Chain A
C-alpha cells in the first residue's frame, strides 16, 4: 500500500493517518496575524508611538478581517461542525482548547468596540451626510446616536485607550493560549514545552507586523499615494526587535532539547535532520529570520535611498510571513510526523481537493483579504494614512479621533 512507503520505523497502527492537516496549520497562523496586527496598533493607542499613527486604524481593520475567519479552518476540520458550538455551551475546563470560544468572543468584542470607537466620528458624519440605504447602514452602525461633540469624542478616546490596554493582554492570551494547546500535550515530545506559548506569541507579533507592512505598502501603491517612510521604518524597527526575541526563544527550545537529550532525542533528531530539515532550517530559520534580520539591520544603518529601503523592508516582510507559516507547519505537522511510539516517523502528504485539503486552506486564507476590502469600503481608514487629506474633510477633525 502507498501508506506504507511514507512510514519509517514503527508507528502505532492508529497513527497511520495524520489527524491535523494543513487547516490546523492555518489556524495558529491566522490568529497569529490577528494578535500581531492588534499589538502593532496598540503601539500607537497605548504606548503613544506617534509614528505608527497612519496605520493604527488600518491595523485594527486588518485584525478584524483575520479574526472573522479564525474559526473557519477549525470548523471545516471538525468531524461534526454543527456541534462546534458545544465548546461554548459546555466548555470542559480542564481542556486547553475549551477556552477558545470565550477567549475568541471576548477578543472579538474588544476589537469591534475599539474599531467602533475609533471610527465613530466618521460613521456619524457619513450617516448625517448621506441618503437612502447608505444613511440607514451608517445610522445603524452609529446605533442611531449622533453625539460627536468634542466632549463625547474625548470620552470615546479615553475608553478606546482602556480597551486597547485590555486588548493587549487578551491578544497575547488569545495567541499564547494557542501555543499552549500544543505545548500542553505531554504525549508529544516535539510539542510539550512550556516555551511554546511564548514562541507562538513572538512569531505572531512578528508575522502580524510584517503583514501590516505589506498591506500598507500594497494599499498605498494601489491608491497611488505616497508612503510615510517614518511610519514604515518604525514598523520595520519593531519587526526587527521582535524577530530577535522570536529567534532567541526558538533556538533556546532546540538547544535545550538537544542538550538535555532525553529519551525522545533520537526521534527529534530524526525529525530535524530528515523530515522537516528544509522547512525548519531552510525556511523557518534562514529565510524567515536570518535574512530579514540582516536586511532590516541594513535598513537601520543605511541613510536616505528610501526606495531601496522600502524594497528591502517589503522583501523581509514577505520572507517573515512565509517563515512564520513554515514555523506553524513545523510545529503542527512536524509534531505529528513523529510517532508517539518514539521509534518511527510518518509523512504528511497534503491532498488538494478534500474537506481538509489545500484548496479549502487557500480559500480560507484568501477570505480575510476580501473582508478587508469590504471593511475598508465601509470604514475607510485612509485619511490617516495619506498625507494630502481629501478636500471635503478639514484636517483638524483627525485629531479628535483618539
Chain B
C-alpha cells in the first residue's frame, strides 16, 4: 500500500465512475428485458388545464351525499374515521358559543339536537383538500411520494409512500389521512381519474344544489371562473400562505 494521495483519489474517482456506469448498463439491460410499455398518455394534455374548485357555502343543505359518493367512488373505507371530503355544521348559539360538528363526516346526514330558538345562526361548510398552490404536504414529504401535477392537483404515489405520516401532520386542513389497508397516506385527488376523462369529481356530481363547482381556471368561460369573477371569494387559513385552490363563497369568520 504505497500509493500517493493523488493516485489514491484518482483510483477512487475511477471506481465511483465505473460503478455508476456499471449500474446504468445493468439497469438498461434489466429494463430492456422487461420491455416496460410506455404508459398510455391518452389525449389528455395536462398543460392545457389548471383545475380549481369553488364552494358556495350559502347553498349547501348538509345532505352529505358528496362525502358518501366520494367514499364509493374512491374506495375509501366506510367503517373508519377517514374522509377525503366532509361537511361541517356551524351553529352559533344566542349566548355566543360556536358549536361545530361533522358526525361521520356528514355521510349519515345531521340531526337537529339544538332547538332553533337557541340559535343565532347555523350553516354548513363542505371541506375538501385545497390542492394548494404552495402545498405544505408536498413540501414535507421526505421521498417525493406526494406531488403537485402540472394541472394543479396534489396526488399521492401509493407505490412509493413510506407511510411516515409527516404530510398528515403538515396539512393545516386535516385533509389527509392514513390508509391502513395500503399503509400509505391518502387524500382527495379531485377524482383525477375522472377529471382527466372529462368527467366531474364524484362529490361535485353528487351535490344536488350546486354548492360545489369544479372547473378549469385556464378556461375564462368555465363555471369556476364565472363565480370567481362575480362573487366575493375567500380561502381557508390564508395567513399560512398555502394558496388554496378551493375558493369559498360566503365564508364565515368562525370557519377554520
Contact = CB atoms under 8 A, between A and B. Distances in A.
- Within the complex, are A and B direct neighbours (CB within 8 Å)? yes
A171 to B, nearest CB: 21
Interface string A91-107: 11011111010000000
B105 A90 contact: no
A79 B184 CA distance: 6
Contacts of A84: 162
B191 interface: no
B214 to A, nearest CB: 21
Interface stretch (A183-191, A275-283, A295-303, A392-400): A183-191
Interface string A69-88: 00000100111110110110
Interface string B191-208: 000000000000000000
A132 interface: no
Given A13-B81, A92-B142, A95-B139, A80 B169 contact: no
B86 interface: yes
B171 interface: yes
Dominant secondary structure of chain A at its interface with chain B: loop
Nearest to B83: A13
Interface in A291-326: none
A340 interface: yes
B109 interface: no
B169 A188 contact: yes
A343 B97 CA distance: 11
A80 B143 contact: no
Given A90-B143, A92-B143, A186-B136, A78 B174 contact: no
B141 interface: yes
Interface in B144-190: 144-145, 160-166, 168-178, 182-185
B86 A187 contact: no
Contacts of A336: 169
A341 B100 contact: yes
B174 A96 contact: no
B5 interface: no
Give the most central of A10, A13, A186: most B CB within 10 Å: A13
B230 interface: no
Given A13-B81, A14-B176, A341-B256, A79 B161 contact: yes
Interface string A212-238: 000000000000000000000000000
Given A94-B139, A95-B142, A187-B172, A87 B256 contact: no
Nearest to B169: A185
Contacts of A3: 81
Contacts of A185: 136, 140, 169-170
A342 interface: yes
A187 B169 contact: yes
A3 B82 CA distance: 13
Interface stretch (A15-23, A29-37, A122-130, A240-248): A15-23
Nearest to B90: A10
Interface in B34-50: none
Contacts, number: 126
A91 B143 contact: yes
Given A13-B86, A91-B142, A341-B174, A80 B183 contact: yes
Interface string B119-134: 0000000010000000
Nearest to B180: A79
A170 B63 CA distance: 55
Contact of B162 (A10, A11, A78, A340): A78
A12 interface: yes
A: interface residue count bin? 35 or more
Contact of B82 (A14, A181, A184): A14
Contact of B142 (A14, A16, A97): A97
Give the most central of A16, A79, A185, A341: most B CB within 10 Å: A79
Nearest to B139: A94
Nearest to A4: B103
A96 B164 CA distance: 13
B98 interface: yes
Contacts of A184: 140
B240 interface: yes
Contacts of A78: 162-164
A258 B243 CA distance: 28
Given A13-B81, A80-B161, A343 B136 contact: no
A219 B81 CA distance: 50
Given A10-B101, A80-B183, A186-B136, A92 B175 contact: no
A92 B165 contact: no
Given A87-B142, A343-B256, A19 B160 contact: no
Contacts of B256: 341-343
B102 interface: yes
A97 B140 contact: yes
Interface of B: 81-83, 86, 88, 98-102, 104-105, 127, 136, 138-145, 160-166, 168-178, 182-185, 240-241, 256
Given A19-B178, A187-B170, 4 more contacts: A13-B82, A13-B104, A92-B144, A341-B174
24 contacts: A10-B88, A10-B99, A12-B173, A13-B82, A13-B105, A13-B174, A14-B83, A19-B165, A78-B163, A78-B164, A83-B161, A83-B162, A91-B142, A92-B141, A92-B142, A92-B143, A94-B140, A95-B141, A97-B164, A185-B136, A185-B140, A185-B170, A186-B241, A187-B240
Q: Which 8 A-B pairs have the closest CB atoms?
A: A79-B163, A12-B174, A79-B183, A187-B172, A10-B100, A97-B142, A16-B81, A92-B144
